[in-house]
């Protein structure tokens, strides 16, 4: 099975990346997080449920995601880095404040790949509400790696911007449990088509590969998100209550 490691086990990490790879099938999934309590809870429960609602029809389905590993980024540092190095896909689902820490993880991953003689192609799928995702990580890694290490990165590990635009929230059901999620059922993940895999490689069916994802992210943040904020402000001004 192809290994995928998802850095960030929050709403997007589990409700978008985790569910999509799980439902696709054929992937050995692991989550990694700096929140020791979340890591413990995921290990103890061993699964989480995400309720997905179709925004057009209102119908919904509940998907139970299980069979995954969980790593504490700090406490399980050595095993976590080895897992990153072994993975065919690494997905990043963290807030911008954690970008530099994740870049350090990726740099350490590259060094471990070199040390262990690993040469398999891999892809880092970057998610985040941020304009210029790939350029940020490229710049951070250029500062952390020497010339030889950068050459390995640029030859073996593709940095890919994604548009993880599902709305995923914590469950509104008080009986659902702390790991339960809910959101929409968008079935695709827009990703940049700049992979290093060989011709004929079988990509996940939910990948929507294109060359304008960075532009689409800029539009999302400066247009869609601004609209959401403006409507929220006007609603609050008029005394409307917030509904999830």
d(CA 97, CA 197): 30
Secondary structure of 24-59 as H, E, C letters: HCCEEEEEEECCHHHHHHHHHHCEEEEEEECCCCCC
pLDDT in tens, 91-113: 999 999 999 999 999 999 999 99
Q: Residue 79 in contact with residue 71, Cβ under 8 Å?
A: yes
User: What would the pLDDT profile of 115-161 be if each residue is shown by its tens digit?
Assistant: 999 999 999 999 988 788 999 999 999 999 999 999 999 999 999 99
State the pLDDT at residue 216.
73
What pLDDT was estimated at residue 218?
67
> What are the tens digits of pLDDT across the range 31-80?
999 999 999 999 999 999 999 999 889 899 999 999 999 999 999 999 99
pTM of this structure:
0.92
194-236 per-position pLDDT tens digit: 999 999 999 999 999 999 887 777 667 767 767 778 888 888 8
How far apart are alpha carbons 9 and 190 in whole angstroms?
A: 20
| Residue 174 DSSP code | T
46: left (phi over 0), alpha (psi -120 to 50) or beta: left
Examine the pLDDT at 243 and tell me if it is beyond 80. no
Confidence (pLDDT) at 219 = 67
The class (CATH top level) of 2-210 is alpha beta
Domain ranges of the chain: 2-210
The residue assigned the tokens 């690494």 is 90
Q: What is the pLDDT of residues 47-59, one digit of tens each?
A: 999 999 998 898 9
Q: Are strands 89-93 and 2-7 parallel, antiparallel or unpaired?
A: parallel
Tell me what pLDDT residue 120 has: 98
């Amino acid at each position: 099975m192809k290994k995928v490691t998802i850095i960030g086990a929050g709403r997007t990490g589990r409700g978008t990346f985790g569910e999509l790879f799980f439902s696709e099938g054929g992937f050995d999934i692991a989550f990694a997080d700096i929140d020791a309590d979340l890591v413990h809870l995921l290990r103890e429960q061993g699964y989480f449920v995400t309720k997905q609602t179709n925004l057009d029809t209102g119908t919904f389905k509940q998907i139970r995601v299980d069979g995954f590993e969980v790593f504490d980024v700090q406490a399980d540092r050595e095993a976590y880095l080895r897992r990153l190095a072994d993975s065919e896909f690494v997905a990043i689902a963290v807030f911008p404040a954690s970008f530099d820490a994740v870049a350090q993880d990726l740099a350490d991953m590259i060094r471990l790949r070199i040390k262990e003689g690993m040469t398999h192609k891999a892809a880092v799928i970057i998610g985040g509400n941020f304009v210029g995702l790939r350029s940020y990580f490229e710049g951070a890694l250029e500062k952390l790696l020497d010339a030889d290490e950068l050459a390995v990165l640029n030859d073996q590990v593709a940095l890919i911007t994604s548009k993880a635009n599902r709305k995923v929230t914590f469950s509104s059901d008080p009986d659902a449990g702390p790991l339960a999620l809910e959101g929409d059922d968008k079935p695709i993940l827009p990703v940049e088509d700049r992979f290093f895999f060989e011709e004929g490689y079988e990509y996940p069916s939910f990948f929507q590969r294109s060359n304008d994802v960075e532009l689409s992210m800029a539009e999302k943040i400066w247009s869609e998100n601004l609209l959401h904020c403006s409507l929220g402000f006007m609603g609050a001004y008029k005394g409307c209550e917030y509904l999830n």
